[in-house]
Amino acid sequence: AQKVTQAQTEISVVEKEDVTLDCVYETRDTTYYLFWYKQPPSGELVFLIRRNSFDEQNEISGRYSWNFQKSTSSFNFTITASQVVDSAVYFCALSEAWSGGSNYKLTFGKGTLLTVNP
């Protein structure tokens, strides 16, 4: 069975600090997909990134970067120079390639509440 663990329940930082959100996953599949979503106070989940299991390259998008390490089953997310607007709950999610016929079933971690203080 697939599982996603986000050990950090809450993180509080001061603006401009760098912060890393951890995500550890479990799956028996060799083909799978990992996602990060942001949920601001408004409640709507915002897609951030998708990564498949064959692409271990790290990715940088502006102040966001992701470190994917299959050896440790981790897909960590770093925000550089955090801003107050980054305050939200961040979810890591996993989709196995085949789950009951389709692969659109996401298993989410419990989320990490990030608070960026001015």
Partner 1 sequence: KAGVTQTPRYLIKTRGQQVTLSCSPISGHRSVSWYQQTPGQGLQFLFEYFSETQRNKGNFPGRFSGRQFSNSRSEMNVSTLELGDSALYLCASSLGLAGGPDEQYFGPGTRLTVT
Residue numbers of the site for partner 1 (CB under 8 A)? Answer: 33, 35, 37, 42-47, 50, 52, 91, 93, 95, 97, 99-111
- Residue 8 CB, nearest distance to partner 1 (Å)? 14
Q: Which of 29, 31, 20, 109 is nearest to 67 (CA)?
A: 20
CA dihedral 56, 113, 5, 18 (to 10 degrees): 40
| Closer residue to partner 1, CB minimum distance, 46 or 60 | 46
- Residue 71 CB, nearest distance to partner 1 (Å)? 22
**Length, in residues, of the chain:** 118
- Residue 65 CB, nearest distance to partner 1 (Å)? 19
